[in-house]
Structure 1
Amino acid sequence: MIDTSGSTPGGPRPSPAPGRLVAAVIPGTLLNALNSSMIVLALVPIERDYGVGLAAASWLISAFYLAATVCMPLMGRLADRFGARRVFVSGLALVCATSALAPLAPSIGWLIAARVLLAVGTSVAFPAAMAVFRTALPGGPPQGAMALVGTANSSAAAFGPVLGGLLVQAWGWQATWLVNVPVTVVGMVLALVLLPPVPPRAPASARGALADLDLPGIAAYAVAAGSLVAFLLGLSDGPSWALLGTAAAAGALLVLRETRTATPFLDLRAMAADRRLPLVFAQNTAVAVVFYLSFIGIPQWLQGGRGLDPASAGLVMLPLTGVSALLLPLVARGLRRFGERPVLLTGSALLLCGSGWLLLVDADTPVWALAALAALLGLPNAFNNLGLQSAMYRAAPDDRIGVVSGLFQTFRFFGSITAAVLVGAVFADGADDAGLRTAATVMAAVSVLLVLAGAVGRGGPSGRRLQSDP
């Protein structure tokens, strides 16, 4: 186990103040959420400028999700082995350079390639931030720091479309890229000044460092995860069984490799011995399915079934993310006092209440009631996100916190992509009341499973962490 007491062989080293660490990582951690949401308002102008259709432009979204899903654990692995601050700053530098050059892209293909690089760079921040917290802040999960980071991310997701719309209207779609440049410059300066340097754990020689990374395991994971995401994203055009078969074959090779190598990319043996992390990942996926069914589905119904214009639909949905951001500091206090299990059970119960209310909604429901429903559906997001992050942080090994944090985000991406596919299926014939009730039924069913899992769970996460292989 890596020592996190803050001491060094040369003598004690005081731990940095949590506020300094949070201030340093927030500019980087909000970039993924911000760039995931701003792009929606830039698609139509991009289509017009490059003379392409929606199918080609939509790859700007799909490629980002595909790359981020694959890269999150990989970036976490790099942070674990080569130092969190070094990798964090490198990711911001990649985002800065890509965002500065992307507006000059000569074709839509080059712009899609830039979105892939953007996803790679923004994938660094969250796992590297968790690795920084683990190294610099001794003790259990720093729920207060996590709450502040979560508030920034929720705010970025909530106001990203608003910001994107303003930027596109004022300066064109190029501004949705260029806005990243000052954010990343500030982020790099803050990280270099405020984050403590972390010595790399990887061997000094290049050959030893490559062996330590487990490149065959990384390759198998990338093929498995990438093929599965591509399969899910392509379901609207009919299932590609070849992609699903590729994902299964690569997954089998991944298990075979990771259970036999001395320094695995994913320590499957440790996860099998202590199932807290697999349970957290499963809960994270299920919560994401429910949340994104509402986040993606309700706005479509508000416009197609309720007849609201896009601006009014956006205002109705604002409480869905805004309430969560406001509630996170209070949830952090509850976590410190009661632990993860009661917080997660509360979040699951609130999800079930919101899903049940959504079953009663139709085209005659007043707008004020719809806004209140959006607020109710936003409440559990604070409980579930922070509770699951805390449980993940507690269960992760010290020397694998980066890769585990990346996996945590990957499973959330799987849930959001699954929700997007389900929304496309239930609204295939139009965003009407029947489709909304079908989505609400799925949400309620998953919420019931989450409540049952929380109610029958034995004791919740304990105070000890997984021990990884040396």
Structure 2
Amino acid sequence: MITTATSPRFGPRLLLPLIASAVLNPVNSTLIAVALVPIGQTFGAGPGHTAWLISALYLATAVGQPVVGLLVDRFGARRVLLTGALVVLSAGVAGMFPLSLDGLIGVRVVLGLGTCAGFPAAMAVLRARAEETGAGVPARVLSVLSICSQTIMVVGPTLGGALIGLAGWPAIFAVNVPLAGLALLFTLLWVPKDARSSEARPHGRIDLLGIALFSLTLLAVLLYLMHPGIGDLYLPAVAVLLGAAFVRVELRSRAPFLDLRMLARNGPLLRTYLRQSLAYLVVYAIMFGYVQWLESGRGLTEAAAGALLLPMSGVAVLAAAASGRGRGIRLRLLLTAGGLVCGSVLLIFVGHGTPIGLLIGVAALFGIAQGLTSVTNQATLYTQAPAEQMGTASGLFRTAQYLGAIAAATLIALCFGPHAGDAGLHELGIALTVVSAILLAVTVFDRGLKKPRTAREADSRHARVS
């Protein structure tokens, strides 16, 4: 159940460690953007090689989220939060003394895996506290987690530039040491201790084969999405074969990594994953594609283009704060999809002569949708996922988001080609209009949203069908 009132059981002592852990991922996703050029100069590498500093973290996070979510379900959120903080802290130290660019890319992979702990563990802790109190999680608590991530996305590049100016690009990695240290300390002090691992879930055995097949399947899909081409068509074929083997193994396992039967019965949860992926495909396409056009097609400087996107991020934060209510989930999802449709259509008519005020308005329109979707889909997930599988379900939720991010990068490359001009922006607008229309249709015809269930009702239903 999601409630609208706050509760002392969800006070600062519980939220601080969850926030400190959850923001580690957006910190490492955004600060690196301003460090690519100086890192390339240090190692004599071009943009094609340094781009892996971004892709490596996305790949590791997309693959690692559901795996770490399973560890949350099996061994407890506190243990996973502590382990994740230690991994991030160690990677932060290693990033200060890299031997090569490839070594630095490896550090980014480790950071991606370490920062996976934050979101699924936070959702599991909140769900456990809700079960203890019987009153549900205040909706504002969920919105606070989202607002903190949105704020990091806003200040990340600016903070990164300041750190590089003070201590050089290694500071981008060194900042993980105090941040992860705080997350570690807060977790030790205030996150409730876990039950013994044997009590966390009925089956103590971990499905290592299922995890391996899932990871390899997703990796093949992600690698193809990053660089699609005729010469790489073997990757989808490999993904299909590995996926078939994964399904076979999971259906035969007594303690599967992913409960495919539960997912097949839980259509609303699958549609929530689909909405999250489609919405963030559009959001990330705007965040990275629109700014490229502003610089190349509109002729703005990097600083001016970044400043023009600030209203989008600011509006997203405000929209996330305003959506911190337990009711009206379907309406907010419809507003999200409708806003993305309208913004995408406007892109088709934007050009190098468009007034700056209108360009800011277009960005702000996408910001409203970004803020609404980040909180609302998260709240929907909370009511749809079984309590005992909240960690794994939350991990898959983030994987869906990163699939959208990587698909957005591919779409940008296909539309823009070598130059981000007006024609490419219009093609991107058409493509995003189609994606947004699909999102709107999925939302309109989702019967599961018309009569939303509370978490307790959802758990009862899962118990009946399992």
TM-score range, shorter chain: over 0.9
What residue number does 1:11 align with? none
Shift in CA distance, 28/239, structure 1 to aligned 2, threshold 3 Å: farther
Q: Report the counterpart of residue 161 of structure 1 in structure 2.
A: 157
From 327, 334, 341, the equivalent of 1:337 is: 327
Q: Which amino acid aligns with 2:57?
A: F
Q: Is residue 2:290 matched to residue 1:290? A: no
Q: Would the aligned equivalents of 1:140 and 1:394 in 2 still touch at CA under 8 Å?
A: no
Give me the whole-angstrom Cα distance separating, in 2, the residues matched to 1:53 and 1:430: 18
One-letter amino acid of the counterpart of residue 389, structure 1 = Q
CA distance in 1, matches of 2:140, 2:86: 28
Q: Among 50, 53, 58, which residue is 1:60 paired with?
A: 53
Is contact 1:85-1:191 (8 Å) kept? yes
Alpha-carbon distance, 1:18 to partner: 3.9
Question: What secondary structure sits across from 2:192 in the alignment?
Answer: coil
Per-residue CA distance 1:353-387 (angstroms, 9 max, x = gap): 22222222111111122112111110011221211
Change (3 A) 1:437 1:56: same
Deviations 1:147-190 (A, max 9, x none): 10101101111211111112112211100011111111111111
Superposition deviation, residue 15 in structure 1? 8.0
Residue in 2 aligned with 1:45? 38
Shift in CA distance, 141/382, structure 1 to aligned 2, threshold 3 Å: farther
Identical columns (%):
35
2:387 counterpart letter in structure 1: D
CA contact (8 A) 1:80 1:201 kept: no
> Is the Cα contact below 8 Å between 1:19 and 1:145 reproduced in 2?
no
Give unmatched runs, 5+ long, in structure 1.
Answer: 1-13
Q: Structure 2: which 5+ runs fail to align? A: 1-6
Distance in 2 separating the partners of 1:343 and 1:201:
38
Query: Which amino acid in the other structure matches residue 293 of structure 1?
Result: A
Give yes or no for contact 1:33–1:156 (8 Å, CA) kept in 2. Answer: yes
Aligned-residue offset at 1:289: 1.1
Closer, same or farther: CA 122–459 of 1 in aligned 2, 3 Å:
closer
Would the alpha carbon gap of residues 122 and 424 (structure 1) be closer, same or farther in structure 2, given more than 3 Å must change?
Answer: same
Deviates more, 1:406-415 or 1:98-107: 98-107
1:96-126 C-alpha deviation (Å, 9 max, x unpaired): 1110121111111211111111111001111
Matched, 1:260 2:252: yes
The TM-score with structure 1 as length reference comes to 0.91
Q: 2:82 aligns with which of 60, 84, 89?
A: 89
Pick which of 290-299 and 450-459 moved more.
Answer: 450-459
SS at match of 2:324: helix
1:278 aligned residue: 270
Alpha carbons 1:81, 1:200 under 8 Å: kept: no
* 1:184 maps to 2:180: yes
Pair 1:430 & 2:419 matched = yes
1:211-222 counterparts in 2 under 5 A?
Answer: 211=205, 213-222=206-215
2:241 matches 1:249: yes
The answer to whether the Cα contact below 8 Å between 1:15 and 1:136 also exists between their aligned partners in 2 is no
What TM-score do the two structures reach when normalised by structure 2? 0.92
Equivalent residues in 2 for 1:95-110, closer than 5 Å: 95-110=88-103
Code of the aligned partner of 1:405: S
Is the contact made by 2:10 and 2:141 (CA closer than 8 Å) also made in structure 1?
no
> How far apart are residue 286 of structure 1 and its match?
0.7
**Displaced runs of 4 or more, over 6 A:** none
CA contact (8 A) 1:231 1:239 kept: no
CA RMSD, Structure 1 to Structure 2 (Å): 1.9
